[in-house]
Chain A
């Protein structure tokens, strides 16, 4: 079974066509990147996969479930980090992780275990007991990533998890995602508008542009096939090709 399987997905917002037939699939345990510029349709695709919004047409399967029908069940499979997700100002990082773990696990031991993992992933030391309004951007993102991964979902969807972070913090977040995926075998679907940064974390990517998938597959295969030195070069040459 595939972790995610979507076929010919389209989405219109009134007159705006956000997705014009998206097809790709994610294997269990993979870190998969959906890469494209702003407005390409990444967030829309993720929201549809998570059952937050319905598609206009096309089919979606997440571990064999249809998000449109099994909306509540899907929420226990997918853990989702929205784009630009904010934090509560007057809640501490610790309180936030605790409340989320208790929402996911009614069993006390399970909740405590998740919380421990969360604290470890966040790795911000004693600052975890401070109110989140005092956190730096990097710390906030680490809390968010910890929040998503600590419940050990079958699938974690991370919408631009490194956007707005400086090089050091972005690297740190990528490393955490990579480590957790290895440790727990979590399937990860992430997006980025930065073509270069995904190369050292994703096995497979799909390049998305104006609601269409340009190419999809193993990064090494793609670079070889189009004889490009990196994903950015590949993307630019593909977009030029589309334009012609």
Chain B
């Protein structure tokens, strides 16, 4: 007995391939995916480039009992035009590296004197002694974190380590004729980070600390995408069904305005979507909680073991704001679903359009997650209001500092944006445009 019928397979293939709507999502995602890549790549690259070539302001605490640190500083000052590292020497002579409270005080003191400082470098007492004994030498830096990003501060901290490593290599090998790069790494790099907005010191490499912190702002667009795909699918389908079953024409003849019809549709289906999403968020949350245990509570140890946890970084109020903003954003995607459904003559077209569009929904959020907010310049207020960027901006700000008092207004604005979209759709969407669209589609299909 044959397992399948060749005729049916051919029929299936022809039937699908000849429907132009089948190709829309494939073609769109083929174009959208690389576009999305570019959207994330371009600002990332420029941020890295910027961090590599930008002037870097460093405060130095020199406790070295020998003279090598002094020489290093002089050398750096001489080549500062080329290296673009600007050094401020402080008169601080005693730091307990294990005491985060002291580190915080010192950082704040330095920042009050030199507000532009991005890194504080501390040369220990035995700096020269260790080098002269050809031993590995400790160096301690405090990265001043003004905004949580994947890159930026980390690249700059690395520039300092590179400069010091290079100097020591050349110093040690001077006159031996041996090339400096035979020595791999003379430094033991120890780091702390001062989060300006939070006024807290977190021990650990800026890479680890910043990555785990920015993970949250990276996760939010992903959570958003998962939820919005489902919600958009749901609202778009329920609206498209009204078209397909010709119940929409009935609604349009009832003593209701088009705005009333669309907004009621939105409210009703969003309520269902919200209940459904709540369940999936709980599931997703548990999943993240389980797999992220090691990341969210990293025990970054240097001297005194200090650990920070994700929860302590965001205040409960800010968390509520972020969640409220997320809900406002899903409300927005539900509205987009309604708009897609209203313009689709049947559910198949609707689901065809939802796929690529939900990818687009993801793009602005991703961009904001990866890029320093300050690069958006005068567009920044817009990011606080637009539903697709707002929760990501919020979480970034909540982690690096705290949300401003007007946050509630921003959330309100986001909801208003959604309502405006529905009202505009109601204005342009009528039986005339609808039936024209459907007629055109049916003719397109016949070709």
Contacts and interface: CB of A to CB of B under 8 A. Distances in A.
Contact of A82 (B246, B432, B436): B246
B431 A75 contact: no
Contact of B436 (A13, A83, A85): A13
Contacts of B245: 86-88
B253 A50 contact: yes
Contact of B253 (A13, A14, A79): A79
A85 B255 contact: no
Interface string B240-277: 00001111011011111100000000000000000000
B435 interface: yes
B107 to A, nearest CB: 62
Interface string B284-304: 000000000000000000000
Contacts of A75: 253-256
B439 interface: yes
A189 interface: no
Contacts of A14: 436
Contacts of A81: 250
A86 B247 contact: yes
B239 to A, nearest CB: 13
Nearest to A81: B250
Interface in A161-189: none
Nearest to A52: B431
A80 interface: yes
Nearest to B260: A103
A89 to B, nearest CB: 8
B352 interface: no
A147 B253 CA distance: 12
Nearest to A99: B254
Nearest to B249: A82
A80 B255 contact: no
Given A13-B439, A52-B431, A53-B435, A85 B249 contact: yes
Contacts of A83: 246
B253 A78 contact: yes
A14, A52, A72, A147 interface centre (most CB from chain B within 10 Å): A52
Contacts of A87: 245, 247
A214 interface: no
Contacts of B430: 52-53
Contacts of A52: 249, 252-253, 430-432
Contacts of B256: 75, 103
Contacts of B257: 72
Given A13-B439, A52-B431, A54-B432, A104 B255 contact: yes
Nearest to A104: B255
A76 B432 CA distance: 21
Contact of B255 (A47, A53, A76): A76
A75 B254 CA distance: 6
A112 interface: no
A130 interface: no
A84 interface: yes
A112 B220 CA distance: 49
A58 B207 CA distance: 73
Contacts of B247: 85-88
A238 interface: no
A76 B253 CA distance: 9
A100 interface: yes
Contacts of A84: 246
B126 to A, nearest CB: 78
A103 B254 contact: yes
Nearest to A50: B253
Contacts of B246: 82-86
B298 to A, nearest CB: 49
A80 B439 contact: no
A45 to B, nearest CB: 14
A27 B12 CA distance: 54
A162 to B, nearest CB: 16
B253 A82 contact: yes
A147 B245 CA distance: 16
A79, A83, A86, A104 interface centre (most CB from chain B within 10 Å): A86
A82 to B, nearest CB: 4
Contacts of B435: 53
Interface string A118-147: 000000000000000000000000000001
A81 B247 CA distance: 10
A55 B28 CA distance: 37
Nearest to B243: A86
A40 to B, nearest CB: 16
A75 B253 CA distance: 6
Interface of B: 244-247, 249-250, 252-257, 430-432, 435-436, 439
Question: What 7 A-B pairs come out closest when comparing CB atoms?
Answer: A86-B245, A80-B253, A82-B249, A52-B431, A75-B255, A53-B432, A86-B246
Given A13-B436, A52-B252, A100-B254, 7 more contacts: A50-B253, A52-B253, A53-B430, A80-B250, A84-B246, A85-B246, A88-B247
17 contacts: A14-B436, A47-B431, A52-B430, A52-B431, A53-B431, A53-B435, A75-B255, A83-B246, A85-B246, A85-B247, A86-B244, A86-B245, A87-B245, A87-B247, A88-B247, A103-B254, A103-B256
